[in-house]
Structure 1
Amino acid sequence: MLFFLILSFWGPVVLTSGQVWPLYSTPRKTVTLSNRGHVFQEEGVWNYSTMLLREDMGVLILGARETIFALDLKNITHQKAMSECQNYIRILHTMPNGTMLVCGTNAFNPTCDLMTYTDGNLTLESKQQDGKGKCPFDPFQRYASELVDGELYSATSMNFLGSEPVVMRSLNETVRTEFMTSWLNEPNFIGMKHVPEGLDNPEGDDDKIYLFFSETAVEYDAYNKLDVSRVARVCKGDVGGQRTLQKRWTSFLKTRLDCPVHQTRLPLLIQDVFLFCTETWKTCMFYGVFTPQTEMPEYSAVCAYRMQDIRNVFSEGKFKTLHSDTSIAKWVTYNGPVPDPRPGACINNKAKQEGKNSSLDLPDKTLQFIRERPLMDQAVKQSSHQPLVVKKGAAFTRIVVASTTALDGLSHQVMFIGTASGSVLKAVNYAGQMVIIEEVQLFKKSEPVKILQISINLGQLYAGSEVATVQMPLSTCERYTSCMDCVLARDPYCGWDLTSNSCSAIKNIHPDTYSEVVQNITDGNAERCPAVENIMINKTFYPGNVVRLQCQPGSNLGQVQWRVNSHTISDSNKYPIHRNSLLILNATDSDAGLYTCTSIESSNGKYYVTQNATYNLRLENIMDHHSVLPQVQEPQNTLLALVIILTLILIALVVWNFYKGYFAVPRCLTKSEERPQSVPGYQEPLQIGTKNTAGRTEFNRNNNHNRISDTANQHNEDKGF
């Protein structure tokens, strides 16, 4: 049954070789935060998972377990204020008057209060409000909230057990969903976004609040539960019905979100969503990250949805209805008449012309219809014919999106994707071709990214986990050390300045000098870059040594090739290649020669050399250095040889001294054999380090002593390539 359900859900599964996104999307660079970011953590404080950017005050309000911090937005290591609060902080919003609404779990008794930040102090105003339906009881339960015109929209549970899910507007007029499985069925709330669709709307439509979540599907028959991703919406001006749906949403509609990855059998589930708009609400896009619903993570994906596509499904699509046939009840497409005004629609100009100025004026027939049928039949399709990003083995957790103008004058959306392994992927989609510029490891791999916030004005990204908060710049052009490296990264923030011979941020380059800047992000064409210089490294070895020749590729996408005297070397027993480094086992004089390592990276069908180094490997002449013992190339062999040599020298000294009679075997002497105490003419035997009869001091000599010397090229070997 489940197999046929999957087929009906996805349709025929066809794997074609024409898919342009790679199934194993590899970040070009894998780096650590190093000194290009800031890390904040307070001893004894955990769960840094709630953030509010107050750019008007220059602070990041950070909610953690039992503590609220005010951190400098430009450098979060500078703590400006702190307030203790016996809560897991879950909600932080800015009120119209500049104060902040803060809500926490309060030991499974959700509570809200108002907070101010003045004169470097965070102050709770002790105006506590009941937080039920606004804030979750369980600190680890997913929830969503949005503050619009001073009113809080929230999606959480009304009870301790989490068995009464609710989508609610509070603070002023309370309106909420019905406790019906057709409305919400074991949901996992993800995010909530306000879209001002009422602005410059010729139809006089209302603003919308969109909710993203996953839930157990009611429309599919299966022995096992099947979860699906959803988007729902309500109208901002909805105040409920007059008789039917009193203080309940009259505009609550929901539908399925599709983000198909053909290599997965079950639909992926949404984990986070980001609303990205450019000029008006009509250009808005929702970016969502999706992961498998199985315990073993396989493919994660990023899908994008146009605002207009979601609107069309809700305003023009068909509804689903519960159909009962004998003992079987299932959800099917509703093909009957639809009441007027359309169920779930906001009050617009047409409704007002008919005398319906608010949801209280809607007829019972419309309200009864939407109460029983809040589910749409058609799913919302992604904006492109395939996901923007598909990656195997990395569970995506969060996403934010920034826009930057490249050298060509075009605007490009850059995605920053948090993962369950504590890293952030920086990715751009160029006309269907996915480029993961880099993966930055922010936290330990066991610490998932729990929240991402972005400041476009400051060009900074803020990430939170269970153990710390991290700040990192959106662009790190100085990380690229060569023209080839800078251009092949295809980073829209960066270009190679031929004048300064450095990779620079495009925003810092004057337009008059654009002609001296190399950037080609759509194709990654690096032909304008100067050729990579070949570096010569001299290296000597001794017979029988293991020689290691290092070669580091310019990126994760680079392929290393080895040659000796212009002949290609393949991985073999004689020449094993380990992590791109070449090993020469039991080296002999025939192994001397020129060894060249070349790192080659392809971009849009063209190949570019990003690293080029030649080792001049020579046999050390032992006859010229007869007093120098051969040096073993490997550090552990060097230490072992030194110990053996010193031991042999010590043994030789002992044997030689026994032979000369300087050391005697201890034995007991008889009285007649005892040394005379004061016998004239008695002379002590000559001892090591004592004066002889000629008055000269003699020492034990050993002409076989040796010293260990470094090869002339040891510096180059340690430097590596």
Structure 2
Amino acid sequence: MFLWVLVCWLLFCCLPAIQVICGTHLPGTVVPRKTVPYNDDTMTLFRVDDVQNYSSMLLREDLGLLLLGAREAVYALDMRNISHKKTEVQWSVTHDEQVDCTNKGKNSHDCWNYIRVLHALKDGKMYVCGTNAFSPACNFMTYEEGKLSLQNKKEDGKGKCPFDPHQRYASLMVDDVLYSATTMNFLGSEPVLLRSFSTTTLRTEFKATWLNEPRFISMEEVPESQGSTVGDDDKVYLFFNEVAVEYDFYSKLTVSRVARVCKGDMGGQRTLQKKWTSFLKARLDCPVLQPSLPFLLQDVFLWRDSDWRKSVFYAVFTSQSGSADLSAVCAYNVEDVSQIFSKEKFKTPVAVETSHNKWVMYSGELPVPRPGACIDDTARQQGIRSSLDLPDKVLQFVQTRPLMDPAAQPLSGGPLLVKRGALVTRIAVVSVAALDGQNYTVMFIGTDNGFVEKAVNYNGETFIIEEIQLFSQPVPIEVLRLSVTTGYLYASSSYGAAQVPLSTCGRYRSCIDCVLARDPYCAWDVNESSCTTLAPSQSLQTGNLIQSVKDADASQCPNPGPVERENVTFTMGSSVKLSCRRGSNQAVVHWLRDNQLLNRSSGGYMYDDGLLIPKASAATAGQYECQSVESPKGRKYYTTLAVYQLLKEGEGEKLTPPQPEAQAQGHRLLTLWVVVGVLSTALGVLLVWNLYHGHFCLPGCTCTRNPPSSPCRATPAQMYLAPEGASGVTLLPDPNSNNNHCEVTFGGSAQVPSSYSAKHCSLVLQYIDDESEI
């Protein structure tokens, strides 16, 4: 029993180290391969002193501008260098508006005009909205002759822009028609999905069955009329979180939703006048831990294919449990989500004895045409040309039953990525052609501590290429946009805006580092001896380029040249620091002294940045080599990072360089040292424990099983390990003790201090050659 407990303890303690050595990680602990600090030279930052909340962004590639909305200002920045501000326009609130806002009980910090909505119109103008001291307002903006200007067309922004500068909302401009999801009143108690600038303004019902305390996330348009054989209509999809009405729970349970409406919806004739007749919603599921509370949606990005049926919604989720720091990325096929609304069953409320309704699957006959469906060829053949012609029974059905029974399930049945640590906030996705001719989806994921992670999924395995710190302060990423035209990713937060390249191949200085990055943007050019960004025309030209994104195979890399040795002179008794930083978070660093592996007991302290030798002596001199070992897919790749020659002060001669054979032998002994160390520790603990408890008696000494005064037992306080250099493992009694105790020697001869008298008995474990001796 003791042996089993000991083994379990060893596994529990050593498992994290074994996982690091083997390059594997527990589920939910995917580690970025590289961490790029804030001061990296590939990054560009924009911020203005005393200006906060850069919470809206619009890319105008036709003008080469990035429009950035902040507190009481809109900035026009150069898309290729956002630190270059071309122009700006101020939009401030009046003193009376600020006073009125604070008199209503709002914090003075929030009683400014925070720009939250920025959209481009067909005529080149822009539509901009701000919170305007909790009284939302909108206006039109132009960019002419290098100058931004607000037109004198200020209008009410209720239902188009949130009142609260910290409130989540969703907004979309399609064919100069504005779709917005926010609140209609000062208190935020009337959520709405609103369509403006159309011949018919439509909104949702103020009912909990439609929207129940929602937190709006994102909105996307899908051109489902393209290629449709039934004359279908385009759709607008809305993503949000809300309190579920269909679950009996001891408290409010929040779930994630996807809803959709038809672009051609005109509302009802009598029922649902100026209301959506096509509003349907379904639960959005991202199963991470079972059982657990549902993970909640934070952002959605629509990756568009030329065929909308192959387009994919990429969504990021976080745990709603305050004790869990888990985040996940799930992907949903657009056609699968569309099929839920067009073909699956509805939920319906039924009265029960309690005061609450219970929601169950509706199994009755559906009215014709199908409730919530867009007007298609079948409906037109029945004389229904628009939603105004829909029968009341169809409208009454969708008015009381907008919820679908099944939930939208992710591709492959589960998340693409589960990670611990900083929670995810935003996501942007781009497709990249690699050297093998395949297209891979690269995900840029923003976090709540100001980092962006670059990740790719290879055959079900998600690999985080790098994480980049965008801001000096740990602020959440609020907006992510990318431009394939410029090749940059743009992010904003309350602190400022940042710009980073989509590909940073120059960051990898060796062939192994470049290939193991597994970045579909990058390949090692053998001729140029550099990591280069692939051009689209190079995707099928393997020639002098090396890349292995799926297999992480760097065996084709040429042998690197020797690392230049650096001489370090030290004085006796001084501290010596040797610098060596690993190039990958997934690598393990080893130090060798004169081709022999250093361990923790070698007199030096190993840490992330190098090796510290606190008290240098004559034995400190020698050659020190820092090696990085990375083990993707079970293969080991060794990289020499630094070589130092330590010389005592006054010595000028250089030692002979190490032979390659001895260096290779040190590599092979690494694994053996680890295994022998763990097994020796386990055996020693087990033997000492049995001796201490008297579970067996040693040959050559007479002792009883239990008496604590037995001369052949030593208490832990009376034992000490023999000094280094002694043969075997020796347990000696404390010289200061007056009791008679035994020396226990495992093989070899013990070094007994001279203070021991003859009354100390000597117990030696010897091999028994004759079984009769047992």
Name the CA distance, whole Å, in 2 between partners of 1:264 and 1:566.
Answer: 52
1:333 and 2:361 aligned:
yes
Displacement after TM superposition at 1:593 (Å): 3.1
For 1:369, which of 397, 407, 417 is the aligned residue? 397
Other-structure match for 2:160? 134
Aligned residues: CA RMSD: 2.1
1:493 and 2:509 aligned:
no
Other-structure match for 1:638? none
Q: Which amino acid aligns with 2:201?
A: T
1:572 and 2:577 aligned:
no
Name the CA distance, whole Å, in 2 between partners of 1:36 and 1:135.
Answer: 35
Other-structure match for 2:149? 123
8 Å contact kept, 1:197–1:208: yes
Displacement after TM superposition at 1:199 (Å): 1.4
Name the CA distance, whole Å, in 1 between partners of 2:33 and 2:550.
Answer: 15
For 2:496, which of 457, 468, 471 is the aligned residue? 468
Name the CA distance, whole Å, in 2 between partners of 1:264 and 1:496.
Answer: 45
Name the CA distance, whole Å, in 1 between partners of 2:316 and 2:459.
Answer: 19
Q: Which amino acid aligns with 1:595?
A: Y
Name the CA distance, whole Å, in 1 between partners of 2:81 and 2:126.
Answer: 22
Other-structure match for 2:485? 457
Name the CA distance, whole Å, in 1 between partners of 2:43 and 2:610.
Answer: 31
Other-structure match for 1:561? 590
Unaligned runs of 5+ in 2: 1-18, 93-112, 654-774
Residue deviations 1:401-436 (CA, integer Å, cap 9, x gap)? 111111111111111111110111111111111111
Name the CA distance, whole Å, in 2 between partners of 1:419 and 1:620.
Answer: 50
Q: CA 1:467 to 1:519, structure 2 compared with 1: closer, same or farther past 3 Å?
A: same
Q: CA 1:262 to 1:554, structure 2 compared with 1: closer, same or farther past 3 Å?
A: same
For 1:199, which of 226, 240, 251 is the aligned residue? 226
- Report the structure number with the largest CA radius of gyration: 1
Q: Which amino acid aligns with 2:639?
A: T
8 Å contact kept, 1:104–1:111: yes
Q: Which amino acid aligns with 1:481?
A: R
Name the CA distance, whole Å, in 1 between partners of 2:25 and 2:244.
Answer: 31
Q: CA 1:123 to 1:583, structure 2 compared with 1: closer, same or farther past 3 Å?
A: closer
Q: Secondary structure at the match of 1:367?
A: helix
Q: Secondary structure at the match of 2:185?
A: coil
1:169 and 2:198 aligned:
no
8 Å contact kept, 1:485–1:610: no
Other-structure match for 1:270? 297
Displacement after TM superposition at 1:20 (Å): 9.4
Q: Which amino acid aligns with 2:640?
A: Q
Name the CA distance, whole Å, in 2 between partners of 1:162 and 1:510.
Answer: 53
Other-structure match for 1:244? 271
1:234 and 2:261 aligned:
yes
Name the CA distance, whole Å, in 2 between partners of 1:79 and 1:618.
Answer: 55
Q: Which amino acid aligns with 2:375?
A: I
Superposed counterparts of 1:371-520, under 5 Å? 371-507=399-535, 514-520=542-548
Displacement after TM superposition at 1:146 (Å): 0.7
Other-structure match for 2:578? 549
Name the CA distance, whole Å, in 1 between partners of 2:36 and 2:222.
Answer: 37
Superposed counterparts of 1:153-168, under 5 Å? 153-168=179-194
Q: Secondary structure at the match of 2:535?
A: helix
Residue deviations 1:328-347 (CA, integer Å, cap 9, x gap)? 52111112221111111111
1:54 and 2:60 aligned:
yes
The aligned length equals 607
Residue deviations 1:252-272 (CA, integer Å, cap 9, x gap)? 111111111117821111111
1:591 and 2:655 aligned:
no
Name the CA distance, whole Å, in 2 between partners of 1:21 and 1:387.
Answer: 15
Displacement after TM superposition at 1:237 (Å): 0.5
Other-structure match for 2:684? none
8 Å contact kept, 2:435–2:541: no
8 Å contact kept, 1:297–1:395: no
8 Å contact kept, 1:20–1:433: no
Q: Which amino acid aligns with 2:308?
A: W
Q: CA 1:340 to 1:623, structure 2 compared with 1: closer, same or farther past 3 Å?
A: closer
Q: CA 1:466 to 1:297, structure 2 compared with 1: closer, same or farther past 3 Å?
A: farther
8 Å contact kept, 2:202–2:276: yes
1:619 and 2:648 aligned:
yes
Name the CA distance, whole Å, in 1 between partners of 2:604 and 2:487.
Answer: 48
Q: CA 1:21 to 1:233, structure 2 compared with 1: closer, same or farther past 3 Å?
A: farther
Residue deviations 1:450-477 (CA, integer Å, cap 9, x gap)? 1111111111111111121111111111
Residue deviations 1:94-142 (CA, integer Å, cap 9, x gap)? 1122211111111111111111111111111211222111111111111
Name the CA distance, whole Å, in 1 between partners of 2:296 and 2:215.
Answer: 10
1:290 and 2:317 aligned:
yes
Name the CA distance, whole Å, in 2 between partners of 1:212 and 1:372.
Answer: 20
Q: CA 1:503 to 1:360, structure 2 compared with 1: closer, same or farther past 3 Å?
A: same
- TM-score, with length taken from structure 1: 0.81
Q: CA 1:509 to 1:613, structure 2 compared with 1: closer, same or farther past 3 Å?
A: farther
Other-structure match for 1:65? 71
Q: Percent identity of the aligned residues?
A: 53
Displacement after TM superposition at 1:191 (Å): 0.4
Displacement after TM superposition at 1:573 (Å): 7.2
Displacement after TM superposition at 1:27 (Å): 1.0
8 Å contact kept, 2:349–2:359: yes
Name the CA distance, whole Å, in 2 between partners of 1:20 and 1:259.
Answer: 21
8 Å contact kept, 1:193–1:275: yes
Q: Bigger shift: 205-214 or 454-463?
A: 454-463
1:182 and 2:188 aligned:
no
Displacement after TM superposition at 1:578 (Å): 2.1
Name the CA distance, whole Å, in 1 between partners of 2:345 and 2:25.
Answer: 33
Q: Which amino acid aligns with 1:291?
A: T
Other-structure match for 2:674? none
Displacement after TM superposition at 1:572 (Å): 3.1
- TM-score, with length taken from structure 2: 0.76
